Amino acid sequence: MPTLKKALLFHDFSAFSKSGLTVAIPVLEALGLEAGAIPTCLLSTQTDGFGNLFIRDLSSDAMAIYEKIKSEGYSFDYIYSGFVENDSIYGLLEKVIDEEKDAFVLVDPVLGDGGKLYEGMTGSHVEKMRNLIRKADLITPNLTEALLLTGLEGESSYSNGDLKTLFDALSSYTEGDVVMTSVPLEIGGYSNVAFKNGDMRIFPFPDVPVGYPGSGDLFASLLLGLLSRGNSFFPSVKIAGELSSEVIRRNWELKRERRLGVSLSPLYVLLKERVP
């Protein structure tokens, strides 16, 4: 049996509900990666819709965990960072990326949504994320995060020219490929928009009248998993978007409670049907 490629994830872990690592690990494993993780924090549940959470910062343990893994002789083909709040995790990520010189680096710059920063995030986090994405091969910001990273003002909807301006601004901070998610278009509807080597492509998706926590983690994990299988960039963006949209739609049709996050149960059947 061939050795699986290995991914090391930096993200939050919810003991109950689906978001962060509870989405990313099973998606990557289903697509054939050996997925390990360094949890950045432990939560009783994901943060959207729950109050009085138990939260434990694990940043003081993160370096020791990484060094122990390395002492066993392992290296990684992929580094994937998601929710990062503590300064020391940013430092560790930069160290890991520098040490894993051959690894493909995906940074999902988790900073905010709906036009504002997430609770607990500040301008200092935005600046640290700008430094981190300089080391990325691929970033997957939502529209709010792209605007926060660039400092540009948001629009109610976007033309191709507007999108090109935004991507040009992001290119000041990263040489990696970019997929910007959930962008409202001037022509109507929402799309994921991908940018690679000066080529921009738009991938519309059907609107579903609910947004589940963990949906961004689902998309980023699918995209990384598809790329790890040797699929090319733009087709991978298309398939990841279609799968994410269909999983969300099926969650909604099953009347899943929103705050429990996106259930992956529909995904496993879809992967058998649609993933090359």
Predicted pLDDT at 2: 66
Please tell me the pTM assigned to this model: 0.96
- Residue 159 belongs to what domain range? 6-274
DSSP string over 95-113: HHHHHSTT-EEEE----EE
Residue 183, domain member (yes or no): yes
CA–CA separation, 244 and 65 (whole Å): 31
Range 181-194 average pLDDT? 95
Residue 115, domain member (yes or no): yes
Residue 252, domain member (yes or no): yes
Which CATH number goes with the domain that contains 141?
3.40.1190.20
Residue 242, domain member (yes or no): yes
- pLDDT bin (cut points 50, 70, 90) of residue 3 is confident
Range 145-161 average pLDDT? 96
Q: What percent of the chain has pLDDT over 90?
A: 92
How many structural domains are present in the chain? 1
Six token digits for residue 137: 């091969």
148: buried, middle or exposed (CB in 10 Å: 19+, 13-18, 0-12)? buried
Residue 175, domain member (yes or no): yes
Residue 147, domain member (yes or no): yes
CA dihedral 207, 211, 212, 216 (to 10 degrees): 80
Residue 109, domain member (yes or no): yes
| Cβ atoms within 10 Å, residue 108 | 29
Q: What percent of the chain has pLDDT over 70?
A: 99
Q: Which of 163, 97, 168 is closest to 136 using CA atoms? A: 97
| Cβ atoms within 10 Å, residue 254 | 10
Tens-place pLDDT, residues 226-268: 999 999 999 999 999 999 999 999 999 999 999 999 999 999 9
Residue 1, domain member (yes or no): no
